A and B are shown apart, each in its own frame.
Chain A
């Protein structure tokens, strides 16, 4: 029999492109490129033995934001105690967080030591207590959270501009940003309705 060199015929690869095209189109269609977006929060640790921690906080350091079942917002701090419109909330919160005029009815400004930076004067002990009824709508609750976040961002921005000469977005994420975030750390306490009862 012919034992000479036999040439292996080349595989016809012209359809590989078509096959991979089909696969490609399948993945194109099934891919959801939309990334999740939202508002980040950190819940407090759960400890069944410790309740009502807020009692130890001085009255001037607390701002209570209550959203009731009719979706009305009631704000109470050393200066204000009345129902407000959501559009007012940001400015009230900003004034409360920063206490720019060193008002004795707003949170205490005291020296606070930040590791790796130094001591700054800030309202480190302030707390914003956000309370909602069981029948409060989620949408208004979310909007309140959003406004409070905005207030923090603007207070931080102002501080960053005063200290580093630039807004927070341009601060160095490794060195400067953590400092700004530590000076005005978010102190939003989301109490559970069960913990403060249903009393209005």
Chain B
């Protein structure tokens, strides 16, 4: 039986590898707050370009921080807990890191836990308005159809 020619196998694997390298976003932050976003139905849209989206997490601190921080909802920007006042700086740093033509398209994805009260959400929204980051997304999961 003739041996199978495997000399093109590395090339094949490399192609698949490059695909995954491109779609991978390594910027996943470690969550410091517990966020379980609400679910919605038909109106939930996909966010198309990940590079335009910045995330703001709001929710009760994760278990290991409960002892020191309590369970009142907190804001997480990047890898740290933050106060409402830090949002403006966060927005401008995020904006700086974008291409000039993309700046007006910037979207803030608000990942807010279901149990959060509107007070903190409204404070964040007001800060975003002051920072001129007006495109927001209330992050939510697509409801899984029952049955």
Q: A residues within 8 Å of B by Cβ?
A: 13, 16-17, 20-21, 23-24, 27-28, 30-33, 35-46, 67, 132-139, 141-143, 145-146, 149-150, 153, 190, 192-194
Please name 11 further chain A to chain B contacts, defined as beta carbons within 8 Å, in addition to the given A27-B21, A31-B20, A32-B24, sorted by A numbering.
Answer: A17-B13, A36-B109, A41-B138, A45-B132, A46-B130, A135-B119, A137-B114, A139-B115, A142-B140, A143-B38, A143-B40
Contact count A vs B, C-beta below 8 Å: 151
Give B81 Cβ to nearest chain A Cβ, in Å: 19
Q: B residues within 8 Å of A by Cβ?
A: 6-7, 9-10, 13-14, 16-17, 20-21, 23-26, 28, 37-38, 40-47, 50, 53, 107, 109-110, 112-119, 121-122, 125-126, 128-130, 132, 134-142
A46 to B, closest residue via Cβ? B129
Main secondary structure of the interface of A (DSSP, over half): mixed
A27–B46 CB distance below 8 A: no
Give A76 Cβ to nearest chain B Cβ, in Å: 19
Give A168 Cβ to nearest chain B Cβ, in Å: 12
B140 to A, closest residue via Cβ? A38
A41 to B, closest residue via Cβ? B136
